[in-house]
Structure 1
């Protein structure tokens, strides 16, 4: 199953093939697998692989709870280093989520930083309060003042920095920048080898293409939030060992 999800990482003898990073002018293609990298059956989360089959992002989450009890979701790199913290904003009709820089290692977990003490990266919400709508807007936070010391004044732009168009639930949508240009695209992923016909891997595995110059971690954080605000029931994928 793993070789079908990211086949480019499998070479002779099962060894991953090393691939040079794509040129700066080319888009970066990722394979997103809605499965915790911890590998336990029935767990929720994300594992994101690059074109060489290397794990580059992960979200490990063990239960999908209601918004009031959801807590934060942590986007990490492939080695488990925290990158971005995603938190739902309570009492929001448009399912607003806020993204912050992740807490630095070494901080006492009992003395958890408040959102006010962390740098906010963006805020994101659905364009419509209707449950059937998949479209959303992202407002990137800008900091004015003493940005170097971390005490600058943060504010949001008047217009959205990114807009999600299409149907994320059907794995067919685009993330556009404020100028209308495409920043990233989500589509269904097919898999096949020479001896087998091409098959659809289902909604739990899909492709994410990020355009040059766009921060991939920010785009992946947007994808994680989209997965939460679309209100689609989560059905864990069970992999057979046979």
Structure 2
């Protein structure tokens, strides 16, 4: 596998995350006992670039600058029908597949056993109450919409979007990342994701990727 190699990868990645905690040219690191549940509010940096040469995707860092997730879309076209969400070692956590049923389109996330973990689709409203758009995430394959623990909602308000649980509580928020020094945005392809305590950030990241795919950003 060829690793994505821009003109100056070290400078580019350090610019995105000033306190980079690992060498860019390091080999595969063995990761044990990864805990995906946040203990406190945590921030993550999402760089909408793949580490694989000639591939679309993104790279995710934790608050210490460690690379923890990567996403690769090996399809030659933007927004292919199948995208892989992996951990640092290349283990596939979710396979995201594009589904279409009549006029309705959705993205589904499958875990390593092939079981449907979630489905994401746009909410269609005849008379929207505000200018924001929203997407619904239903957990599992067949769960009643009335169960507040079985679904989430993505509310998009311009450059910021939030993920809410069934009770309306915000559990994650994503926006453009700003430089720690100047306070200026690092560009549309560099994002900050803030996740609340006691939340599975691997699931949240999977939902964020599915949402990005609906926008053809991968």
TM-score by length of 2: 0.75
Higher relative contact order (CA 8 A, sep 6+): 2
Q: What per-residue deviation string (whole Å, max 9, x for no partner) do you get for residues 171-196 of structure 1? A: 30110000111111001111143xxx
Confirm whether residue 203 of structure 1 aligns to residue 188 of structure 2: yes
Offset, 1:64? 6.0
Offset, 1:203? 1.1
C-alpha RMSD of matched pairs (Å): 2.9
Task: Quickly say closer, same or farther: Cα 1:8–1:157, change in 2 above 3 A.
Answer: farther
Size of the aligned set, in residue pairs, is: 188
Who is 1:61 aligned against?
73
8 Å CA contact 1:49–1:57 kept in 2: the answer is yes
Distance in 1 separating the partners of 2:102 and 2:70: 27
Distance in 2 separating the partners of 1:127 and 1:27: 28
SS in 1 for 2:100: coil
8 Å CA contact 1:9–1:51 kept in 2: the answer is no
Task: Quickly say closer, same or farther: Cα 1:189–1:64, change in 2 above 3 A.
Answer: farther
**Please, which of 26, 38, 45 is the counterpart of residue 31 of structure 1?**
45
Runs of 4+ displaced beyond 4 Å: none
**Please, which of 143, 155, 159 is the counterpart of residue 142 of structure 2?**
155
Who is 1:166 aligned against?
156
Distance in 1 separating the partners of 2:124 and 2:210: 15
8 Å CA contact 1:86–1:99 kept in 2: the answer is yes
Distance in 2 separating the partners of 1:188 and 1:76: 23
Unaligned 5+ residue runs, structure 2?
1-11, 27-34
Distance in 1 separating the partners of 2:185 and 2:59: 18
Task: Quickly say closer, same or farther: Cα 1:155–1:62, change in 2 above 3 A.
Answer: closer
Who is 2:4 aligned against?
none
Task: Quickly say closer, same or farther: Cα 1:129–1:180, change in 2 above 3 A.
Answer: closer
Task: Quickly say closer, same or farther: Cα 1:165–1:217, change in 2 above 3 A.
Answer: same
**Please, which of 39, 47, 51 is the counterpart of residue 59 of structure 2?**
47
Q: What per-residue deviation string (whole Å, max 9, x for no partner) do you get for residues 81-122 of structure 1? A: 11111111124534211111125xxxxxxxxxxxxxx31111
8 Å CA contact 1:74–1:102 kept in 2: the answer is no
Distance in 1 separating the partners of 2:102 and 2:58: 25
TM-score by length of 1: 0.68
Distance in 2 separating the partners of 1:189 and 1:66: 23
- Which structure would you say has the larger Rg? 1
